[in-house]
């Protein structure tokens, strides 16, 4: 490792330590929780331990620095049958250029038709509720094995005739360590001002995540993340493994746990356990993830990625 690379990583780690310490001072609840729902079946089946592993178009919502690893254009779509008949969809596109990799994505969550009632519990008809976030991304590989990435996102939430609009940024980096096939990832997500809904302000679900990804002989990948949910005063630890017995098949399992005993593991992984598989045939990749949510039921995620 050169002196400049070592100095850069030291500065990054100092910032992370300072940021995590600052997080302990924040105890405010958040809104726009749909931003915390996973958008990659591959990542979710690995317990959402993905900051140091992200290397395809889905990196947009985990660590935008991972987009710098993409060598060809990619488009990805994912559909989730979530709890209580909630639908969650993700569509993303990336294109590498001579000056870096550009990306664009949309996350959409629909709660469908909801029956309205007045203060006397009388029916007032039905209304719709949805959340949407549109993200523009940029990532670039620097010298000494360092990649940087950033997102700018526009967020909108709507319930019947009421709505709220906000803006946020994400910042991420990945670093190829001196240990072969070991990557370090850092990601700061949903940094932005409060959103206001019906004259009441609420914080975005800001997170800070540090993670490692290690690939053993291109057949087994291990991932480990520590995530701090700033305003929720919650820390999560996640582990994941991906095994590729043959080139077209990937088997995955992961576990996510909150270190705060009074809280559930995560809005994206209620029971902490996840699993799934992936099929890779030429330029097409299909991934499936299964996550049990206890008495609330199970969730199934299916994604399709195309390279061109």
Q: Is the pTM above the cut of 0.85?
A: no
Helix (H, G, I), strand (E, B) or coil at 292: strand
**Nearest residue to 239 (alpha-carbon basis) of 226, 220, 250, 229:** 226
204 touches 165 (CB < 8 A): no
Strand 207-216 versus strand 182-191 pairing type: antiparallel
Average pLDDT over every residue of 105-125 = 72
Helix (H) or strand (E) holding 188, with range, is strand 182-191
Neighbours of 9 (CB within 10 A): 19
Strand 74-81 versus strand 273-281 pairing type: unpaired
132 pairs with which residues across the strands?
A: 108, 156
Q: Report the percent of the chain where pLDDT is more than 70.
A: 79
Angle at 234 between CA 230 and CA 235, to 5 degrees: 100
Q: Which residues form the domain of 240?
A: 3-117+124-307
- Euclidean distance between CA atoms 273 and 261, whole angstroms: 16
Neighbours of 25 (CB within 10 A): 8
Would you place residue 288 in the very low, low, confident or very high pLDDT band (cuts 50, 70, 90)?
Answer: very high
Given a cut of 60, whether residue 175 has pLDDT beyond it is yes
**Nearest residue to 175 (alpha-carbon basis) of 125, 212, 223:** 212
The domain that contains 36 carries what CATH number? 2.40.160.60
Residues across the chain: 308
pLDDT tens digit string along 57-84?
999 999 999 999 999 999 999 988 776 6
The structure tokens listed for 294 are: 């206890």
232 touches 205 (CB < 8 A): yes
pLDDT tens digit string along 3-62?
444 444 444 443 443 344 334 434 446 778 888 888 999 999 999 999 999 999 999 999
Average pLDDT over every residue of 193-215 = 88
pLDDT tens digit string along 221-265?
999 999 998 888 888 999 999 999 998 999 999 998 877 655 444
> 281-288: which pairs have CB atoms within 8 A and are 24 or more residues apart?
281/248, 283/307, 283/308, 287/40, 287/41, 287/42, 287/45, 287/250, 288/41, 288/45
The structure tokens listed for 168 are: 């946020």
Place of tokens 């099929």: 279
Torsion of CA 233, 234, 235, 239, to 10 degrees: -160
Of residues 138 and 131, which shows the higher confidence score? 138
Instruction: List C-alpha distances in Å: 44 to 15, 19, 36, 205, 302.
Output: 27, 25, 12, 18, 11
Of residues 302 and 3, which shows the higher confidence score? 302
Would you place residue 133 in the very low, low, confident or very high pLDDT band (cuts 50, 70, 90)?
Answer: very high
Instruction: Give the number of domains in the chain.
Output: 1
């Amino acid at each position: 490792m050169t002196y400049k690379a070592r100095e850069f990583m030291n500065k990054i780690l100092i910032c992370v330590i300072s940021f995590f310490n600052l997080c302990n001072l924040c105890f405010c609840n958040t809104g726009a929780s749909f931003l915390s729902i996973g958008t990659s079946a591959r990542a979710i089946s690995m317990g959402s331990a993905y900051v140091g592993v992200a290397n395809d178009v889905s990196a947009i919502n985990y660590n935008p620095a991972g987009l710098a690893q993409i060598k060809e254009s990619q488009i990805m779509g994912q559909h989730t049958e979530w709890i209580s008949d909630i639908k969650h969809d993700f569509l993303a596109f990336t294109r590498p250029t001579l000056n870096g990799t550009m990306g664009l994505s949309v996350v959409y969550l629909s709660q469908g038709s909801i029956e309205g009632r007045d203060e006397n519990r009388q029916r007032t008809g039905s209304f719709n509720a949805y959340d949407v976030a549109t993200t523009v991304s940029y990532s670039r590989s620097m010298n000494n094995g360092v990649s940087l990435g950033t997102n700018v996102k526009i967020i909108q939430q709507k319930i019947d005739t009421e709505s709220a609009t906000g803006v946020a940024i994400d910042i991420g980096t990945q670093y190829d360590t001196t240990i072969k096939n070991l990557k370090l990832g850092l990601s700061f997500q949903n940094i932005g001002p409060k959103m206001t809904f019906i004259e009441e302000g609420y914080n975005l679900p800001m997170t800070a995540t540090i993670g490692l990804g290690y690939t053993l002989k291109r057949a087994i990948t291990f991932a480990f993340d520590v995530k701090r949910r700033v305003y929720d005063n919650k820390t999560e630890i996640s582990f994941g493994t991906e095994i590729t017995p043959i080139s077209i098949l990937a088997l995955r399992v992961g576990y996510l746990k909150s270190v705060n005993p009074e809280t559930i593991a995560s809005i994206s992984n209620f029971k902490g356990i996840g699993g799934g598989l992936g099929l890779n045939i030429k330029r097409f990749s299909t991934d499936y993830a299964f996550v049990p949510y206890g008495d609330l039921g199970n969730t199934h995620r299916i994604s399709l990625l195309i390279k061109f």
